[in-house]
Amino acid sequence: LSQININKVREQFPILHQEVNGKPLVYFDNAATTQKPQVVIDALSGYYSGYNANIHRGIHYLAEKATSAFEASRKSIQEFLNAPSSDEIIFTYGTTDGINLISNTYGRAFLSEGDEIIISTMEHHSNIVPWQMLCEEKGCVLKVIPISDDGELLMDEYHQMLSEKTKIVSVVYASNALGTINPVKEIIDAAHSVGAVAIIDAAQATSHIKIDVQSLDVDFICFSAHKLYGPTGMGALFGKRELLEKMPPWRGGGEMIKEVSFDKTTYNEIPYKFEAGTPNIADVVALKTALEYVNELGLENISAYEQELLAYATDRLEAIEGLKIVGKAREKVSVISFVMDGIHPQDIGVLLDQQGIAIRTGHHCTQPLMQRFGIVGTSRASFAVYNTKEEVDLLVEGLAKVKRFLL
């Protein structure tokens, strides 16, 4: 049985206690973004009301307080990912930004015509488009690992794709559209066996799976705070020191330099080399609070509870006639995508919203994946630690109403 007191958890999320269209809100759009506990909201306002100042530059009290809170957050991410040092943690504005940083620095500096980049069929657009842009600029070739009808990577095909031409392998840890958890350790080791660097998009993994960058031996990993009970528009990138040090900077400006003259500019050390300009200080600070919140509940407890919800919801949804789950991988995070005979996903979304139930409908920023399944989109319910079986029951009842209304 669950180690988590869900009623207590729910009390900590003010947004959940409201009615939408006259019904209690059921928030099942957690793969898009999770809600924020009061402690995270307090950390944001606490920064602005207590110690707002620009960091790294000032010597006054507030500047030092802000700088130490900012750097303490970097340290907490290092610990969260078990990174060897906090210099290897770069603040970004999210997963998208992290991947763009790698493609614009590592990619542009070290890849050339004919080099190959491997991604998978289930990538989010943010792990497709930056590589397409790089391929266009450099004449590199993008290769795509196919998937099975159950939504699992075809690993034999991946192994066959690898060669000395492979320079980058960039794969999602857990699919936002299907929930599939990929065998990332095997993917990373195989990439290394041909001398390629391995990048993991951990946007959907951090709130469900304990990540240890050292045991994974991953070269780069990106995540977004907002999928982890933290603020939007911020995240972090872990990169191995030897790679970050040899990569050129990307954005130029304050903070990322050592010395500037009109003749020559020298760049700062990592991580600052990649952090031009005044960062999103309040949100960086609040991410630390979000990590503490998750650590307090325990990622393994959160995950065990979500797996219970996933199993329960899978059984109940599968019992609905005409409903088909898209993505039936053996290992999944708490995401269920489904289609219903004769009903457009958008209609499902609209009719559920009228009943206070928030789900996501559409292509989930994974259009090539939808093309693979020959569909325009799905309806997706994704669960976080504050969701309940009673809410799953409301979804099931809601879908019955959708059917009665439309069919």
User: Which residues are catalytically annotated?
Assistant: 365
> What is the Cα–Cα distance from 96 to 284, expressed in whole angstroms?
17
Question: By C-beta, is 170 or 289 nearer to ligand PMP?
Answer: 170
Question: By C-beta, is 251 or 401 nearer to ligand PMP?
Answer: 251
Which DSSP letter does residue 325 get? E
DSSP string, 8-24: HHHHT-GGGSSEETTEE
DSSP element (H, E) containing 282: helix 281-297
Question: By C-beta, is 176 or 355 nearer to ligand PMP?
Answer: 176
Given the structure tokens 């095997």, which residue do they identify? 186
Nearest approach in angstroms of CB 148 to ligand PMP is 19
CB atoms within 10 A of CB 7: 9
Question: By C-beta, is 55 or 128 nearer to ligand PMP?
Answer: 128
Amino acid occupying residue 34: T
Nearest approach in angstroms of CB 236 to ligand PMP is 11
DSSP element (H, E) containing 248: none
> What is the Cα–Cα distance from 372 to 45, expressed in whole angstroms?
44
In terms of C-beta distances under 8 Å and separation of at least 24 residues, what long-range contacts does 43-47 make, across chains too?
Answer: 43/282, 43/285, 43/286, 43/288, 43/289, 44/231, 44/282, 44/283, 44/285, 44/286, 47/281, 47/282, 47/285, 47/286
Nearest approach in angstroms of CB 93 to ligand PMP is 7
Nearest approach in angstroms of CB 355 to ligand PMP is 24
Question: By C-beta, is 196 or 225 nearer to ligand PMP?
Answer: 225
Non-local CB neighbours of 262 within 8 Å, separated by 6+ positions: none
Question: By C-beta, is 6 or 365 nearer to ligand PMP?
Answer: 365
CA angle 137, 140, 143 (to 5 degrees): 130
Say whether 142 sits in a helix, a strand or coil. Answer: strand
Q: Is the peptide bond before 271 cis (omega within 30 degrees of 0)?
A: yes
> What is the Cα–Cα distance from 168 to 118, expressed in whole angstroms?
6
Q: Which residues bind ligand PMP (CB under 6 A)?
A: 94-96, 124, 126, 172, 176, 201, 203-204, 224, 365
